[in-house]
Amino acid sequence: MSSNPPRRSRRWIAGAAAVAALGVSSVALGLPWDIDMADTQAVKAYAQRMPDLPEGVVAQSNLLSPKDYTTNAVRGSADAATLLAPVATDERKQLGEKMYGIYCAPCHGADGVKLGPVAASEGAPDRMPGVLALAGPNGVAQLRDDSWIYLTIRNGGAVMPAYGHTMSDEEMWAIVHFVRTLPGAAYGTPEPAVDEDAAEGEEEANP
Ligand code: HEC
């Protein structure tokens, strides 16, 4: 018996090897049987009636679409201008202080003037960039009405993340109340633009 089989039997071996390889491939193994996957009866949403709820179940539609949220709006729009903050009670300011400490101080700083540890600073360029001071002489809160601040918390800003999903409506308004207690953060703190002639002589009175 020679160690080199004749050419014909070599072709036969190659053919047998090919058939064997095809035979164990997953496609070939599944072929006669896997078509039932394509013919499966798909269950289509809403095609059947939903089963009745078990007895005693109480619908809590408020959990899915809370009704006690202020209507959402785009900052600065006419709709936004109609949003009014609830009365700023002491309890609400306290709640706002707590929520501000958790959600805002990391970027805007505890007093709204000196930015917090997450705000970008020289040497830490990978931190949150572009954080604005809310309070103090250059604070942005004095330029923004309550609805603007509320909607910024709820929907975020150009860079600032949104917090509407993390707190209740009451908590967001409470933060607005607290921000107003920070130095120089009352709405309209800067002097309004006045007619130059009329302003003459008033500069001493309104330094
Ligand atoms: C992760 C950092 C970060 C946190 C946390 C954060 N902010 Fe900001 N905030 C920013 C940045 C950055 C800007 C400026 C760019 C922008 O408007 O997105 C900003 C801007 C603002 C502005 C000015 C928006 C404008 O254009 O007038 C207000 C008001 C504000 N933040 C309030 C808050 C309040 C209130 C909280 C807490 C609920 C808060 N921010 C939490 C990063 C943050």
Type of residue found at 114: K
Residue 157, token pair as written in the block: 């800003």
Q: How many CB atoms lie within 10 A of CB 139?
A: 23
Q: What pLDDT was estimated at residue 90? A: 96
Q: What pLDDT was estimated at residue 198? A: 54
Ranges in the chain, pLDDT < 70: 1-5, 19-39, 61-67, 190-207
185, with CB counted inside 10 A (0-12, 13-18, 19+), is buried
Q: What pLDDT was estimated at residue 3? A: 57
Does residue 118 line the site of ligand 1, with CB under 6 A?
A: yes
Contact predicate 140/132, CB 8 Å: yes
Nearest CA to ligand 1 atom 9: 160
Q: What pLDDT was estimated at residue 207? A: 46
> How far, in Å, are 27, 71, 165 from residue 106 at the CA level?
57, 28, 18
Does residue 105 line the site of ligand 1, with CB under 6 A?
A: no
Calculate how far, in angstroms, residue 146's C-alpha sits from the geometric centre of ligand 1: 14
Does residue 108 line the site of ligand 1, with CB under 6 A?
A: yes
Q: What pLDDT was estimated at residue 1? A: 47
Does residue 160 line the site of ligand 1, with CB under 6 A?
A: yes
Cα distance between residue 155 and residue 157, in whole Å? 7
Does residue 120 line the site of ligand 1, with CB under 6 A?
A: no
Type of residue found at 156: G
Nearest CA to ligand 1 atom 3: 107
Cα distance between residue 5 and residue 149, in whole Å? 88
